[in-house]
Structure formats: structure tokens, C-alpha cells
């Protein structure tokens, strides 16, 4: 394995990180469907300690428009309910003493279009990041060539691999964005 392979490998790692970041970003974007990840940002006052919701309750999605939250300690059911209400997610939780039901309201068409625009923008940001990673990889290869650490042939092959990795990364971004847009626009 030559130095040029290290550059290509490092690019692959960088692109994977960028794609993981996009997936996390998209998971937090609300659709009209219930999704437990919508509550990832909720912090519960667990006897004085702000605790992520998923660390003090079991979350379920029994129906497309409902999230259930079953606290492991019934003593903090009111705190959990308050935390969900105060998280500015536009959700109105109700508890029956055992379980908290969080109905997911339908989105208006205007709201769905706004969210779809956010999804597209996130995709664009991540495509730019991937292209920047490509540029850095190509600059490293140029540097190696200048220092005669790699041959013209190795440089050419590595450049082709860099382009292939970049194209695959950008394609994955596009696929993720299209899939999320569909979820958002679906009534």
C-alpha cells in the first residue's frame, strides 16, 4: 500500500463521517410520522440531573402518529411529560399514570414544504463538505507528486479513486435527501 492509498482511505473515512452526520441531522427533522428520534433532544429533570429521555424511559411507536414513553421510574412521569412539552417540538403529551402518549399532529402542507426545503439545504451542506474533502485529498496527492513520493501513474489512479469515492458520497447524500423528502411530503 502506497501513500496515495492512505489519501484515498482517509477520504473514505471523512466521507463516511459526513454521511453519518447527515443521517443524524435528517433523523431529527420532523415528518408527519411518529419517530422516536424526534425526542432525542428532550432532557428530563431526573431528581436534579438533566437526563436524555431515552435513558429514563422506553420509547415506542405503536402507530404512525403516536409515540409512547414508558418511564422506568414512575416517580418522574410528570417531569418527563413536562420535558416533552417544554422541548418546543409542538407536541402535547398525556399520561395515564403508567405511560405517556405523545400524539404526532399532522403537518400542514406549507409546513411540509418548509421542512422539505430544510432537508434539501442539509443535503447541499453535506455535498459541499464532501467536495471540500475531495479537494483536500487531491491537494495531498499533488503534494506527494511534487515531492516525488508517488509516480504520475499512481497519482492518476488515486485521482480516479478520489473522484469515485466523491461521486458515491454525493449519490448517497442525494438518495438520503430524496427518501427524507418523500417521508416529509407524505400526508
DSSP class per residue in 117-131: HHHHHHHHHHHHHHH
Q: What's the pLDDT score for residue 107?
A: 83
Q: What is the pLDDT of residue 17?
A: 97
Can you give the pLDDT at residue 2? 83
Cα separation, 187 vs 173, in Å, equals 24
By the 8 A CB rule, do 40 and 54 touch?
Answer: yes
Q: What's the predicted TM-score (pTM) here?
A: 0.75
Q: Is the pLDDT of residue 187 over 80?
A: no
What is the pLDDT, as a whole number, of residue 4? 87
Task: Find the length of the chain.
Answer: 187
Residue 30 has pLDDT above 80, yes or no: no
* Mean pLDDT across the chain: 92
Q: What is the pLDDT of residues 85-143, one digit of tens each?
A: 998 888 899 999 999 999 988 888 888 899 999 999 999 999 999 999 999 999 999 99
Task: Give the CA angle between residues 53, 56, 44 to the nearest 5°.
Answer: 45
Instruction: Enumerate domains of the chain plus CATH numbers.
Output: 3-28+108-185 (1.10.132.20), 36-103 (3.30.1360.40)
Identify the pLDDT of residue 111. 86
Reply yes or no on whether the pLDDT at 28 is more than 80: no
Please tell me the distance from the alpha carbon of residue 164 to that of residue 129, in angstroms, as a whole number. 16
| Placement of cell 440531573 in the chain | 49
Amino acid at each position: 500500500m502506497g501513500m496515495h492509498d492512505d489519501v484515498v482511505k482517509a477520504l473514505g473515512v471523512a466521507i463516511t463521517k459526513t454521511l453519518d452526520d447527515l443521517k443524524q441531522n435528517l433523523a431529527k427533522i420532523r415528518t408527519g410520522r411518529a419517530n422516536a428520534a424526534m425526542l432525542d433532544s428532550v432532557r428530563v429533570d431526573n431528581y436534579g440531573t438533566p437526563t436524555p429521555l431515552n435513558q429514563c424511559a422506553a420509547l415506542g411507536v405503536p402507530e404512525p402518529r403516536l409515540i409512547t414513553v414508558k418511564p422506568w421510574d414512575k416517580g418522574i412521569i410528570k417531569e418527563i411529560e413536562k420535558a416533552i412539552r417544554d422541548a418546543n417540538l409542538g407536541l402535547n403529551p398525556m399520561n395515564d399514570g403508567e405511560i405517556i402518549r405523545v400524539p404526532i399532529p399532522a403537518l400542514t402542507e406549507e409546513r411540509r414544504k418548509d421542512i422539505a426545503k430544510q432537508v434539501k439545504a442539509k443535503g447541499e451542506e453535506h455535498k459541499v463538505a464532501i467536495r471540500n474533502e475531495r479537494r483536500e485529498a487531491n491537494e495531498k496527492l499533488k503534494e506527494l507528486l511534487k515531492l516525488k513520493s508517488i509516480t504520475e501513474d499512481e497519482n492518476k489512479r488515486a485521482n480516479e479513486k478520489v473522484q469515485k469515492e466523491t461521486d458515491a458520497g454525493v449519490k448517497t447524500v442525494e438518495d438520503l435527501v430524496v427518501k427524507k423528502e418523500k417521508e416529509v411530503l407524505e400526508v
